[in-house]
Amino acid sequence: MSETEPGQPQIGVDEWVATADVRSERHRGVLGHLRRRFDRVPDLARFGIFIALVALIPVVTSDQYILRVSVDTLIFALLVLGLNVVVGWAGLLDLGYVAFFGIGAYSYALLSSDHFGIHWEAQFTVPLIVAGTALVGLLLGLTSWRLLGDYLAIVTLGFGEIARLLFLSDALAPWLGGVQGITGIPDIIDSGTYTLPLIGEVSGPAATFYPLLALCAAGAYFAYRLKYARVGRAWNAMREDEDVAQATGVNTTNFKLLAFALGASIGSLGGAVFATHLESVFPGSFVLQVSITTLAVVVLGGMGSIPGVVVGALVLIGLPEMLREFAEFKLLVYGAVLVVVMILRPEGLLPDVGRRRELHEAEEAEEVARTAAPSQAS
């Protein structure tokens, strides 16, 4: 054995050579080389390239249906960014996230439509909705901060169903509209005609597409800065092992509440944009399936990965919409895509580098041990 400093693990020359051989084998080939080069690109640069490519969609095609599907996908991407904070970073399994989505939509509808005749401007309404929904998320966190895993999932699932039944109830119909919902909602985003540099004149769905893309990019940048700040590191420690994080000085209660509040505020922002895009809200838009789909997007794209969750939204939201003409087989194709991706890429389509290493750590250790065994025997 080679000489090492006290407290450092001792490793022989044969074991060191075997480890190097395994790493070389893993990165051999074209795909391994490309993945290695891709991992070296900073997350912010990768996301910037992706945003630039998405911005070309209205330039490449003028099909109104594709543009409307793209707008719907961006709205859902904004929603997924909020759930990624709660599930991907803090490790809190939330199955009632659709409640915040609905609260944001109904709040904007009540404060800006003819339903009550308030007609507040968006610059006052949206910050108020975001702050109010953050308070609701904080209250949900206060009632469930001791719960983990399946127990937390059941509580949040119940919260989402309570919100849906309140939206649907006849008792609150004078305020929330009941089954009839609320219509006549003004648009937050100016959907008129304007000119953009290098793109030219845009109108129709494209006029909504670009402001919404800018909003998603701003949200993603905020999430990116948060991920590498002290708060993001604390959430990552909680997700890995809450007891160890608490033992090292992380106030897990405060950071859980912060995750719930921040996730709720982003979800409500997505709901407000959703309401203004459709110019109406109905209880049928806020069912459990929305929460399940949002969670599936986070897992499929890559938990904790900002570019990953956006790509996951394109796959799980945009793909089914493009398969409408195959209505009989849409769910079959949808399920097959989920199964294939989860088998071939269990870490997600664009996983966070650290997260991928965590998932494959056991496999790498087994491979190193299997390769090192013949060397030790000789």
pLDDT in tens, 174-229: 899 898 899 888 876 655 677 777 677 777 778 888 888 888 888 888 888 888 88
Asked if residue 294 belongs to a domain, the reply is: no
Q: Long-range contact list for 207-213, CB < 8 A, 24+ apart? A: 208/71, 208/277, 209/57, 209/58, 209/67, 209/70, 209/71, 209/74, 210/55, 210/58, 212/71, 212/74, 212/75, 212/78, 212/273, 213/51, 213/54, 213/55, 213/74
Specify the higher pLDDT residue, 136 or 44. 136
Report yes or no on 103 lying in a domain.
Answer: yes
How high does pLDDT run on average in the chain? 79
Contacts of residue 319, Cβ cutoff 8 Å, sequence gap at least 6: 333, 334, 337
pLDDT of residue 22: 47
Give residue 232's identity as a one-letter amino acid code. G
Q: State pLDDT tens for residues 20-58.
A: 444 444 444 555 555 555 555 566 677 778 788 888 888
Q: Is residue 342 part of a domain?
A: no
Residue type, 304: G
pLDDT band at 11 (very low <50, low <70, confident <90, very high): very low
pLDDT the model gives residue 4: 44
pTM of the predicted structure, to 2 decimals:
0.80
Average pLDDT over residues 329-342: 76
**Does residue 194 form part of some domain?**
yes
Q: Distance between CA atoms of 329 and 332, rounded to whole angstroms?
A: 5
The total of other beta-carbon atoms located within 10 Å of residue 139's CB is: 15
Q: Tell me how crowded residue 281 is: count the other CB atoms within 10 A of its CB.
A: 28
Does some domain include residue 115?
yes
- Is residue 164's pLDDT more than 70? yes
Which of the residue ranges 139-143, 199-203, 256-260, 304-308 would you say has the lowest mean pLDDT?
A: 199-203
Cα 110 from Cα 185, distance rounded (Å): 9
**Cβ-based burial of 221 (10 A; exposed 0-12, middle 13-18, buried ≥19):** middle
Into how many domains does the chain fold?
Answer: 1
pLDDT exceeding 70 applies to what percent of the chain? 76
User: Quick check: is 364 in a domain?
Assistant: no
| Over residues 244-264, mean pLDDT | 91
Partners of 183 in the β-ladder: 280
Top-ranked range on mean pLDDT: pick from 136-150, 183-197, 255-269, 284-298: 255-269
Q: Print the domain residue range for 212.
A: 41-289
80 part of a folded domain: yes
- Mean pLDDT calculated for residue range 8-22: 46
| Amino acid of residue 220 | A
Query: Which ranges of 5-97 does DSSP label H, i.e. alpha helix?
Result: 13-26, 30-40, 43-54, 57-60, 64-83
Q: Contact 88/309 with Cβ under 8 angstroms?
A: yes
User: What is the spatial distance between Cα 265 and Cα 268, in angstroms, rounded to a whole number?
Assistant: 5
50-54, 109-113, 363-367: which has the minimum mean pLDDT?
363-367
pLDDT at residue 3, as a whole number: 43
What are φ and ψ of residue 200, in 5° steps?
100, -155
Nearest-angstrom CA–CA distance, 317 and 303: 17
> Residue 223 corresponds to which amino acid?
A
For residue 366, being part of any structural domain is answered with no
